A and B are shown apart, each in its own frame.
Chain A
Amino acid sequence: MSNLTEQFSPAARVLHWLMALMILTMLFIGVGMVSTVSEWHSRLVSIHKPLGIAILLLALVRLAVRLRRPPPPLPADLPVPQKLAAHASHWLLYALMIAMPIIGWAMLSAGGYPVMLGTSFHLPPILPADPVAFAILRHLHTWLALLLFLTFLAHLAAALYHGLIRRDGVLSGMVGRRGQAAMQSRGRLRAVD
């Protein structure tokens, strides 16, 4: 039986699942809103901006939580390349979830747009209006969004690999005690058959 005592803190788990939902929603909204001329375009744009700023704020809280209480260590027997990939992809996820909203905000500022988060609440510009900066940031926003989506897919696959194949407690450490119990009972069932 794996060592399943190591858990992420409750705060880290709540933030993880909440942000997972928000970021995945955000990626689908982003890719959808730029590829339609229907009323979905304006509907999605109006969600995209406040949701992005909410992700930025939560990501900063989450970073603070993580620095105060580091996550449980990876299984000691995890091969070094996988350990490296795990660390690199996590820091990449953190970097992107913080950078993407800031780039979006900077890009709208450079485009001379008001950064509206609702019908009247808006943020100040963080860059002067400049078409060259706008174009570069706008493309960067797209490419980094695709990188974020690919990193998410890798993260999803790796989580399932830990949970279904290695059964090493990494996934259950984030799923929580009930998930941990389920994982254990599945492990036992597997052992029976």
Chain B
Amino acid sequence: MNPSSRSGTRAGRLGAYALIGATVVIVAAAFAYVGGWLSPHRLTPARLVDQLQTNSGVFPGYRRNHAKGVCVTGYFQSSGQAAAYSVAQVFAPGERTPVVGRFAIPGGNPYAPDSSIPIRSMALRFALADGQQWRTGMNDMPVFPVSTPQAFYQMLQAQQPDPATGKPDPQKLGAFFAAHPETAAFLAWAKTATPSPSFATVSYWSLDAFQLVDGHGRHHPVRWRMVPDAPAGAPETPVGGGAGPGGSPDYLAADLRQRLAQAPLRWHLLITLAQPGDPIDDAAKEWPPDRRSVDAGTLVLTSTQPQQSGPCRDINYDPLVLPHGIEASGDPLLPARSAAYADSYLRRTSEEAHLPGYLPASLSAATKPDSRP
């Protein structure tokens, strides 16, 4: 067979090569576009996490946000009252589900004093008997400052410390809040908020809405919160004080150890049902206080472990790890949290694995280094 009979004229052959080249280039370009390489302004999970690192510094092996925390373990005892709204096994009457949790404070610095920020967080992983899981991350405030991942990113940019002062530029922060009226509810809360001296005495809100799915397939938009049995105790430390109760900047973990040495700690899981018209896709908006809540059961925490060696260390508390019977709402923060947490998780596990291109984690040395920014 003679090659020229296959490919036709010289011009035809060149045309065929050009067609092949163009096809490959178009497919590759589409791939690059979908991957975000051609859109430098797209908000990607990596960009979000990069900004967290810019604001707080890089602490190998630690979470990029809520870096300072402790592990807790216990179980959730279902009351059965939520079973009418959700088929999730965790809500079945009498069901007891093991829980690995984590208390933390926001920010990327695992050595920040507990009093440096007035917010506390609780993350939980319920390991359901059917092999499914429910993971949730909650804060002790009823609303989130912003409604969208883009606004959250802009808030992080406004909070970026000024190299001259080491603190955020008040003008930039002011400009951000002025441009984002949806932050009003959060700012009103922040005005009166003080850093709790204990993880055990505060309520933790889901912030984002979710949907419970019942046995008939009906969807019930909800938010939930964990309400403590423990009463609020000693007067609280003002923000900015270097040390809290006991003179240690790490008083939260000490308080938790002390309390758990005496008795388990309990919270009630209150699930609030939305009424038609309530914002179910906007974590910056509160729901009216008269909404009906169901007491789904009791969270019982029995022990605590340091996060460097505890069972919570390698858990990514991705709020979209949900069992059958609980689904995401349309809240745009949820997929952003899921995507950014995955990125943070890959960074810190890569550091633990001492992979090339990553700073090696020093988590096994559980002691605090002498000099840290």
What residues make up the interface of A, taking CB atoms closer than 8 Å to B? 2, 27-28, 31-42, 45, 77, 111-114, 116, 119-120, 122, 124, 129-132, 134-136, 138-139, 149, 153, 156-157, 160-161, 164-168, 187, 190-191, 193
Contacts and interface: CB of A to CB of B under 8 A. Distances in A.
Contacts of B336: 37-38, 41
Given A35-B34, A42-B328, A114-B131, 12 more contacts: A35-B45, A35-B46, A39-B330, A41-B45, A42-B334, A45-B338, A120-B132, A124-B131, A131-B313, A153-B27, A166-B6, A190-B8
Contact of A134 (B5, B16, B349): B349
A15 to B, nearest CB: 21
Interface string B335-348: 11011101101101
Interface of B: 1, 3, 5-8, 12-13, 16-17, 19-20, 23-24, 27-28, 30-31, 34-36, 42-46, 48, 130-133, 149, 313-316, 320-321, 323-324, 327-328, 330, 332, 334-336, 338-340, 342-343, 345-346, 348-350, 352-353, 355
Contact of A191 (B5, B324, B330): B5
Contact of B132 (A116, A149, A165): A116
Nearest to B313: A131
A114 B321 contact: yes
A110 to B, nearest CB: 9
Contacts of A134: 314, 349
Contacts, number: 143
B345 A111 contact: yes
24 contacts: A2-B6, A31-B31, A35-B46, A36-B42, A37-B44, A37-B340, A38-B335, A40-B335, A42-B334, A77-B1, A111-B314, A111-B316, A112-B314, A122-B132, A131-B313, A131-B349, A135-B353, A136-B355, A160-B19, A160-B23, A190-B8, A190-B12, A191-B5, A193-B8
B36 A42 contact: no
Nearest to B7: A165
A41 B328 CA distance: 12
Nearest to B324: A120
A128 to B, nearest CB: 11
Contacts of A42: 320, 328, 334-335, 338
Interface majority SS (helix, strand, loop, mixed), chain B: helix
Contacts of B24: 153, 156-157
A31 B24 CA distance: 17
Contacts of A113: 133, 316, 321
Contacts of A161: 20
B134 to A, nearest CB: 10
Given A37-B48, A114-B132, A135-B355, A31 B339 contact: no
A135 B19 CA distance: 40
